[in-house]
Amino acid sequence: MTVPNTSEKKPFLYVVVCACGIAGNVGKLITAAQERQWDVGLVTTPQGLGFLDTQAIEAQTGYPIRSAWRTPGEARPLPPADAITVAPATFNTVNKWAAGISDTLALGILCEAYGMDIPTAVQPYVNSAQAAHPAYRRSLDQLREMGVVIGSYEPHKPKAGGGADRFRWEEALELLEAKVS
Ligand SMILES: Cc1cc2nc3c(=O)[nH]c(=O)nc-3n(C[C@H](O)[C@H](O)[C@H](O)COP(=O)(O)O)c2cc1C
């Protein structure tokens, strides 16, 4: 019988969560990632914080949730990321990220990830009115050009309650695993 090497360091995944109605279900992604042998740390936008059960997530990951920059003397709360997924991603954060705006910690991490060659995936959760905006299409093109892999969720109708049942939380893991060996 082979004894599993439990001391082997697992790859570390940052899950970046934005302020979407379905953000509260991110525990599904954390569970799926842990089952696939990732260690997970959660970063949220300040707006996203209000959508999350922070105690439950911190218990699940074993790490503090990050939503703001640390003070200069403070130790880094999370290990460095081997990969990043943004799920769910808002219209707002997708556009700001593509434009290089870094006014939240989440955006700061995402903007730097490109220059650090960290494999990154994004699963936008937007409605068709948001998706029709020319800036959004340009943003996705820009992110693709930067090597970001983009989820397949088809935008839901505006004011129609969304498509939470169609949002495949584990898709980002499938997309990233091809890039992280
Ligand atoms: C209940 C609720 C649900 C929302 N759902 C979405 C959503 O699914 N997608 C989206 O792009 N914005 C959604 N928004 C709007 C964002 O929360 C808003 O644009 C916010 O500024 C995004 O901030 P962030 O990108 O920093 O997380 C929602 C807002 C509320 C109050």
Q: List beta partners, residue 15.
A: 42, 85
- Residue 4: pLDDT over 70: no
- Calculate mean pLDDT across residues 167-180: 92
CA 19 to ligand 1: nearest atom: 27
- Please tell me the distance between residue 4's alpha carbon and the centre of ligand 1 in angstroms: 42
Q: What pLDDT, in 10s, does the model give residues 59-104? A: 999 999 999 999 999 999 999 999 999 999 999 999 999 999 999 9
Please indicate whether residue 92, judged by its CB atom, sits closer than 6 Å to ligand 1. yes
Residue ranges per structural domain of the chain: 12-68+87-177
pTM: 0.95
- Domain 12-68+87-177 in CATH 1.20.1260.60: no
48 CB near ligand 1 (under 6 Å): yes
Whole-Å CA distances, 93 to 4, 22, 123, 124: 40, 15, 11, 9
Report whether 60 contacts 33 (CB < 8 A).
no
Query: What is the residue with the minimal CA distance to atom 1 of ligand 1?
Result: 21
Greatest Cα-to-Cα distance within the chain, rounded to the nearest angstrom: 58
List, for residues 19-48, the tens digit of each pLDDT value.
Answer: 999 999 999 999 999 999 999 999 999 999
